[in-house]
Amino acid sequence: MFEGILVEKDDAGYRATVKAIDEAQLPEGNVTVRVSHSTLNYKDALAITGKGPVVRKFPMVPGIDLVGTVEASTHPAHQVGDQVLLNGWGVGEGHWGGLAQKARLNGDWLIPLPRQFSPQQAMAIGTAGYTAMLCVLALERHGVQPQDGDIVVTGAAGGVGSVAVALLAQLGYSVVAVTGRPQDAPYLQQLGATEVLERAQFATPGKPLGKERWAGAVDVVGSHVLANICATTQYRGVVTACGLAAGMDFPATVAPFILRGVTLVGIDSVMCPRADRLLAWQRLSTDLDFDKLGHISTTVGLDEAIPLAQHLLNGQIRGRIVVDVH
């Protein structure tokens, strides 16, 4: 038996509880992992609370991230005793995930835990941080350089936002953080933001085009915020869109794209090819100031993760939550 969060949905309703789970219930897979740490991402919070249709079958162990040690394997790339890392691939949505002491997985989904990271540090980054890195890589791929001007990061005090601010600042970009929590300005400045702006000025319908302000953007929020960021991006600037914290809608016009040559780049971490994941984690190991990870993350136990899920959806969690599953 092992402990894990189980999300159930039946006549008694939708609920998430910490339960003792029989190993015989683990799903099919060619690698069994003794999990040490997982995390709480936005998607995990949706799965735990049922506030979004993330879980595709029940019962489900949530947790889109995990780090652990291989306990049994018939996959050629993973030997017993190896430390491995998983982000996404539908784990915690359609296949039992990381918020439990054990997981059985398809070995193709696993990558070796980069030796620069402790399990706790890898989970302080988690899907949120690896997605922030994918955004930075996309800005670079599209030619955005530090001398081109400011990079705006929205939802800056959240998980993706915090890591994006820290990474961009470390790489020499001038970072403008947009947040709904102006009281967290000192935190964002500590991560490297040169300016902190209130979310409210971006959150209502704006003009098709505004004053050119940004060389690049990392947007986790969507909706009017993303539309207004596109409208104020400078000629040939690049906007990376990875989230929907304010909504799935995108009430914009084509004006920034056809009149200013702005590029809108979509970022997906879930099905991202293995080579891009390996590159993202390699770059995280060299480009992220590990001291800042300490400021970004808080570690909790499995049972604490459940009530924190609602706080996260309320936008009340600063940075990242690591879950020590033991």
Q: Toward ligand NDP, which CB reaches closer, 128 or 176?
A: 128
Residues numbered 270 to 289 that lie near ligand NDP (CB under 6 A) are: 270
Q: Toward ligand NDP, which CB reaches closer, 274 or 326?
A: 274
Task: Choose which of 60, 67, 221, 227 interacts with ligand NDP (CB under 6 A).
Answer: 221
Q: Toward ligand NDP, which CB reaches closer, 101 or 269?
A: 269
**CA 119, CA 272: separation in Å to the nearest integer?**
22
Q: Toward ligand NDP, which CB reaches closer, 45 or 144?
A: 45
Query: If binding is defined by CB under 6 A, does position 325 make contact with ligand NDP?
Result: no
Q: Toward ligand NDP, which CB reaches closer, 2 or 155?
A: 155
Q: Toward ligand NDP, which CB reaches closer, 136 or 220?
A: 220
Task: Choose which of 152, 215, 242, 305 interacts with ligand NDP (CB under 6 A).
Answer: 242
Query: Encoding tokens for residue 184?
Result: 């967290």
Show the 3-state SS of 104-158.
EECHHHCEECCCCCCHHHHHHHHHHHHHHHHHHHHHHHCCCCHHHCCEEECCCCC
Q: Toward ligand NDP, which CB reaches closer, 78 or 320?
A: 320
Q: Reduce the DSSP state of residue 257 to 3 states and report it.
A: helix
Q: Toward ligand NDP, which CB reaches closer, 42 or 109?
A: 42
Query: If binding is defined by CB under 6 A, does position 263 make contact with ligand NDP?
Result: no
Phi, psi for residue 282 in degrees, rounded to 5: -65, -45
Give, as one character, the DSSP assignment of residue 279.
H
Q: Which x/- pattern over 116-155 shows residues binding ligand NDP (rule: CB under 6 A)?
A: -----------xx--x-----------------------x
Q: Which range of residues in 115-123, 157-165, 255-263, 280-288 is near ligand NDP by CB under 6 A?
A: 157-165
Query: If binding is defined by CB under 6 A, does position 63 make contact with ligand NDP?
Result: no
Smallest gap from residue 71 Cβ to ligand NDP (A): 28
Q: Report the side by side order of strands in the sheet with 151-153.
A: 193-198, 175-179, 151-153, 214-219, 233-241, 263-266
Question: Any idea which residue has 């400021």 for tokens?
Answer: 295
Q: Which residues contact 209 (CB under 8 A, 6 or more apart)?
A: 231, 255, 256, 259, 260
Query: If binding is defined by CB under 6 A, does position 159 make contact with ligand NDP?
Result: yes
Query: If binding is defined by CB under 6 A, does position 43 make contact with ligand NDP?
Result: yes
Query: If binding is defined by CB under 6 A, does position 157 make contact with ligand NDP?
Result: yes
Residue 24, judged by CB atoms within 10 A of its CB (0-12, 13-18, 19+), counts as exposed
Q: Toward ligand NDP, which CB reaches closer, 21 or 196?
A: 196
Query: Encoding tokens for residue 22?
Result: 């029989």
Q: Which residues contact 6 (CB under 8 A, 6 or more apart)?
A: 16, 17, 18, 19, 21, 59, 60, 61
Smallest gap from residue 15 Cβ to ligand NDP (A): 22
Q: How far is CA 283 from CA 21, 127, 286, in A?
A: 37, 14, 5
Query: If binding is defined by CB under 6 A, does position 198 make contact with ligand NDP?
Result: no
Smallest gap from residue 154 Cβ to ligand NDP (A): 7
Q: How far is CA 203 from CA 26, 51, 86, 222, 247, in A?
A: 44, 22, 34, 10, 11
238: left (phi over 0), alpha (psi -120 to 50) or beta: beta
Q: Which x/- pattern over 4-33 shows residues binding ligand NDP (rule: CB under 6 A)?
A: ------------------------------
Binding stretches for ligand NDP (CB under 6 A): 41-43, 127-128, 131, 155-161, 179-181, 199, 220-221, 242-246, 267-270, 312, 315, 317
